[in-house]
Amino acid sequence: MQVDIHEQTRLLIDKSLGVELSRQEQESLRTHVLSCPPCQQYQASTQRVVAALDGFRFEVQPDLNASVHQSMQQLLYKMEADDTARRSMLCSSLSAFLLSFLGSSVVWQLSDYLAAYARMSAGELQTLLLLVWIMPSLLVCLVFPFIPGLLLYRRTQKGWTS
């Protein structure tokens, strides 16, 4: 189907608003518009609308920037505090894990002496140590990094944060 020359020109006018036309397209547009009053009018009215769109002037409320800066600063402080808490929890967790590991190793090494002192077999004492010292210590160490998240969740649930 052959596209009407006026239709084609208007498509080119519309296209020129979004992308740069090729040299050939520019030439074809210029040649036709010069000799066609309706297409001239179409181009002029399009340019008028585009120019009119530039005739709106909006203003920023005078205190908006200051209020945005303030809110951003507060949020930055809060995020910094959260990061510090997270880092400190991670360090505590690592320290606790290390101490648990070292303490447990020492006690484990001394289990023969301790078993004799407590009148138990070394195996019994080791089982006891495993259940009441080593396992709980390791579990607590693993929970440490999740404490800030749990606290935040609790605060959110209670509506402490928006």
Whole-number Å distance between alpha carbons of 126 and 43: 91
Question: Taking the alpha carbons of 134, 135, 138, 139 in that order, is the dihedral positive or negative?
Answer: negative
The least distance separating other proteins from the CB of residue 46, rounded to whole angstroms, comes to 6
The rounded distance, in Å, linking the Cα atoms of 141 and 133 is: 12
In the complex, minimum distance from the CB of residue 11 to other proteins, in angstroms, rounded to a whole number: 9
What φ, ψ does residue 20 adopt, rounded to 5°? -80, 135
The CA distance from 37 to 47, in Å, is 15
Whole-angstrom CA distances from 112 to 43, 102, 129 are 98, 17, 12
Smallest distance, Å, CB 50 to other proteins?
A: 5
CB of 66 to other proteins, least distance (A): 10
**Closer residue to other proteins, CB minimum distance, 50 or 118:** 50
**Cβ–Cβ < 8 Å for 32, 65:** no
In this structure, what token pair is assigned to residue 119? Answer: 């009148």
Pick 1 or 60: Cβ nearer other proteins: 60
Minimum CB separation of residue 137 from other proteins in Å reads 35
Given the complex with other proteins, which of 6 and 123 has the nearer CB atom? Answer: 6
Residue 76 or residue 151: which is nearer to other proteins going by CB?
Answer: 76
How far is Cα 98 from Cα 104, in angstroms, rounded to an integer?
Answer: 10
Summarize as ranges the residues that interact with other proteins (CB under 8 A): 14, 17-19, 45-46, 48-61, 64-65, 67-69, 71-73, 75-76, 79-80
Q: Which is nearer to other proteins, 109 or 156 (CB)?
A: 156
